[in-house]
Structure 1
Amino acid sequence: MSLSDPSLRRRDLGTLGAAAVAVSLVALGAGPAAARPPSLIQQPAAGRPDRRIRLRRERGGTGAAADVALAPDPRVAGRGTVLRTAAHRTDDFALLGVTWAAGAGQVRVRVRDDRGDWSDWRPVAGLHDLPDADTAEGRRTRRGTEALWVGHGTGVQVEVTGAVQDPVLSLIDPGVAPYDDRPAAADPADLADPADSADPADREVAGRPRRSLRPKIRGRRAWGAKERWATGRPKRVRTVEQVHVHHTATGNDYRRRDVPRILRAIYRYHTRSLGWSDVGYNFFVDRFGRIWAGRRDPDREIRGAHTLGFNHTSVGIAVLGSYDQTAPTARVLAGVAKVAAWKLRKYHRDPLATTVVTSRGSDRYPAGTAVVLPVIDGHRDTNDTACPGQYLYEALPQIRLRTARRIDRSRR
């Protein structure tokens, strides 16, 4: 591990706001990472102490982070090259991700737990939750992987396949805050359903009082958003034609008190590692069915950074968890439907219908393409991704029905 790597001098790491070090990648040759035998894992040389990657405390917050420049061997070039770090000890961390300035690549990692045992190699999904290219944050964003929640890591080893420029590994410890253990019933940051909604569409129908559809939402203070990391002024969308459903692929075994920590870590990765103006999703729903404010101003329709090419007329809801092999609970479906009904009714959208949306440019639909999409869709309908996981995707018809029923009941 070299602390004087020139790649750090070639780019401004000021936006990352944490410890910046460099780890050398070892060239393993061309070919897919999955084909490399375990014997090629590069360990520190015999008799040489393993240097720990230190996380630096975030100023004014509860957490710590390190942004580690992965310096490629300058003698190795070309798409398909497999580069791998040595196995490094680290300070405790809970979430990781790899970003890069340009290019395309795939990433695998293995992580050491608090008992000193190393996990198997696992892929880290590529990032498709992105701001649109015609926005300021879209023009400055880095590419990379999704954020991977590991819970408790004490070591890491990274493998990168492909041609990427200036790769950086982010290790994030969101820390522990007093409100993390606060019982949900006593949470003052819960925003109750207001009887007098600010939206005229929520007030009356045919001269009669109309039931508000605004659900209870745990605000950003409830999970500890460091507001100075959110930059610029939130940009409103003119209308809401769709609700995009995502999953965060962060695992399903988290506890209630873990949720604020997960949200803080994702927020740090989105703003400080990727350079976005805020966390990408408008809302989060945890596996207990609780709704959390994501991007600023949840009562307004704010343009997010969740669905590349389709952020300009939509709301993004991310379910905390992984739904490739696990089905969502009824509480999860209810939470998503509550937000969808609230936002879609304002604009008289039918959650059981389709709509025609013009892409602003995604990896699936070029800019200017008119696409027929469900009003409530899954992320894979607009981008080349497996999100929101097969089981959550298969549950979308249930979410649409729940949303339609909720809207219909509010009109009675």
Structure 2
Amino acid sequence: MSSPPLPRRALVTRAAALSTVPVVGALTGWPAPGAVAAETTRSGGVTSHEIALGDQRLQRSGAGRWATGRLDTASYRMLALTWTGRAPGLRVRTRSSGRWSSWRALRVLHDGPDTGGREDSGRRGTEPLWLPEADGVEVLVVGQRPRDLRLVLIDPGSRAGDSRTRASIPAGRSGAQERDETDGADETDEAARKKPRRSPRPPLRSRKDWGADGSWRDGKPVMCRTIQQVHVHHTASGNDYSRTDVPAMIRSMYRYHTQSLGWSDIGYNFLVDKFGRTWVGRAGGPGRPVRGAHTLGFNNTSVGVAVIGNFETSGVTSKTVTAVVKLAAWKLDKYGRRPSGKVRVYSTGSDKYPKGWVRLRVIDGHRDTNDTACPGQSLYKKLPAIRKRTRKRVKKHGGIG
């Protein structure tokens, strides 16, 4: 069986490290003999396996249903599925510590680059699922069977720096010129030079802090002409994680975004964890207007902030809310945006808005721009309070609020 084509960026970075090895074996009830060949890549301390789920791997399991059966796998912490064409209905169950989980529905990932842009590989995927260390999986497809379905399993490994407690980029002072970490070069932001007083930068954890492998990136960062909005997301990856898990989670997302989906970098500009810590996502300098791949149709004049967790039912910590407020105040105050107001922005085309002008909140939730439940109902309900607190913080430091 031939494997489906990989995104261009994946082909480039995998060429030296790719090996096809049997990492998935058959359990009782699995009809196909032998082991499943996986494309395994080891880079930057991260091991990823991609398994093509073609005709030999997906067996009919009733009307409009196909299943892999229970599979033994190499150990992994993050799971996702990718495909081309229309989105399928996908469910998985996984095995950790010898016990199988119940079935879980995987949602389609609506974060991403603009359609037809340089980062759009044409490949789509699910929101990634973060798990306790797992060594088994079963996949169920319900409804229309997708083209080029691939199972992605990622083991991010561990680093000594994962337990670092202090932010490597300290908080700035109101009115101070701040220098950005830009992958080897420090740059003074133009907006910082022109504005004598503004909302200060919050403490940030850098890409180095979470272990970004620069070789996975493709091309130089692209800048937005301005920043009009902050889009709030959740990663939907799960809430049961520790402080030391967070760098590994971000490494896994980075690997998934760049090597499985073909994006040029991790999609989000920033990530905030449940402990109230803010992490730099996409490269290019946290103080600069870096264009991300987070909100289809609205990446061109915005910042994407992803809160790590699933907030469809689970609550949001007060530390997380405070971190989002400080980050939004810092980014919006540079460009004179009113955090509690609305702004006229141009949509390049999403599943909710066609190309053209639309009026949206300056701080909004992902569901306001795309057909998705993101950032989850619990976090979405916090947005009015986040806008109010951000406005208050901007005014405190001399901004227009």
TM over 0.5: same fold?
yes
In structure 2, which of residues 289, 294, 300 is the aligned counterpart of residue 301 of structure 1? 289
In structure 2, which of residues 89, 92, 99 is the aligned counterpart of residue 117 of structure 1? 99
TM-score by length of 1: 0.84
Structure 2 counterparts to residues 131-280 of structure 1, below 5 A:
131-138=113-120, 140-161=121-142, 162-182=144-164, 184-185=165-166, 189-193=168-172, 195-197=176-178, 198-199=188-189, 201-202=191-192, 210-280=197-267
Give the match's secondary structure for 1:250: coil
Q: 1:372 to 1:56 in 2, by over 3 A?
A: same
Q: Unaligned 5+ residue runs, structure 1?
A: 25-40
Q: Which residue of 1 aligns with 2:354?
A: 366
State the distance in 1 between where 2:200 and 2:7 align. Answer: 47
State the distance in 1 between where 2:11 and 2:237 align. Answer: 27
Q: Which residue of 1 aligns with 2:11?
A: 14
Structure 2 counterparts to residues 258-337 of structure 1, below 5 A:
258-297=245-284, 298-337=286-325
CA contact under 8 A between 1:107 and 1:158: conserved in structure 2? yes
TM-score by length of 2: 0.87
Q: Unaligned 5+ residue runs, structure 2?
A: 179-187
Give the match's secondary structure for 1:95: strand
Q: Does 1:127 align with 2:85?
A: no
Structure 2 counterparts to residues 372-383 of structure 1, below 5 A:
372-383=359-370
Higher mean Cα deviation, 8-17 or 127-136?
8-17
Q: 1:121 to 1:345 in 2, by over 3 A?
A: same
Q: CA deviation at 1:190?
A: 3.2
Q: CA deviation at 1:151?
A: 2.7
Q: 1:86 to 1:258 in 2, by over 3 A?
A: same
Deviation by residue 1:46-102 (Cα, 9 ceiling, x = unmatched): xx987477784513x21211000010369999xx83221121111110001111122
Q: CA deviation at 1:401?
A: 1.2
Give the match's secondary structure for 1:6: coil
Q: CA deviation at 1:43?
A: 2.4
State the distance in 1 between where 2:200 and 2:224 align. Answer: 20
Q: Which residue of 2 aligns with 1:349?
A: 337
State the distance in 2 between where 1:149 and 1:411 align. Answer: 41
State the distance in 2 between where 1:212 and 1:384 align. Answer: 33
Q: 1:191 to 1:50 in 2, by over 3 A?
A: farther
Q: Which residue of 2 aligns with 1:43?
A: 29
CA contact under 8 A between 1:72 and 1:83: conserved in structure 2? no
Give the match's secondary structure for 1:312: coil
Q: CA deviation at 1:279?
A: 0.2
Q: Which residue of 1 aligns with 2:183?
A: none
Q: 1:56 to 1:373 in 2, by over 3 A?
A: same
State the distance in 2 between where 1:393 and 1:136 align. Answer: 31
Q: 1:204 to 1:56 in 2, by over 3 A?
A: closer
CA contact under 8 A between 1:55 and 1:64: conserved in structure 2? no
Q: Structure 2: which amino acid aligns with 1:373?
A: L
Structure 2 counterparts to residues 56-75 of structure 1, below 5 A:
56=40, 58-59=42-43, 61-72=44-55
State the distance in 2 between where 1:98 and 1:9 align. Answer: 15
CA contact under 8 A between 2:87 and 2:108: conserved in structure 1? no
Q: Structure 2: which amino acid aligns with 1:153?
A: A
State the distance in 1 between where 2:162 and 2:7 align. Answer: 36
Q: 1:19 to 1:387 in 2, by over 3 A?
A: farther
Q: Which residue of 1 aligns with 2:182?
A: none
Q: Which residue of 1 aligns with 2:91?
A: 108
Q: 1:388 to 1:210 in 2, by over 3 A?
A: same
State the distance in 2 between where 1:230 and 1:320 align. Answer: 22
State the distance in 2 between where 1:49 and 1:392 align. Answer: 46
State the distance in 1 between where 2:266 and 2:105 align. Answer: 23
Give the match's secondary structure for 1:358: strand
State the distance in 1 between where 2:83 and 2:345 align. Answer: 30
CA contact under 8 A between 1:23 and 1:68: conserved in structure 2? no
- RMSD over aligned Cα atoms: 2.8
Q: CA deviation at 1:173?
A: 0.3
CA contact under 8 A between 1:249 and 1:323: conserved in structure 2? yes
Q: Structure 2: which amino acid aligns with 1:151?
A: P
Q: Structure 2: which amino acid aligns with 1:335?
A: A
Higher mean Cα deviation, 68-77 or 347-356?
68-77
Give the match's secondary structure for 2:372: coil
Give the match's secondary structure for 1:190: coil
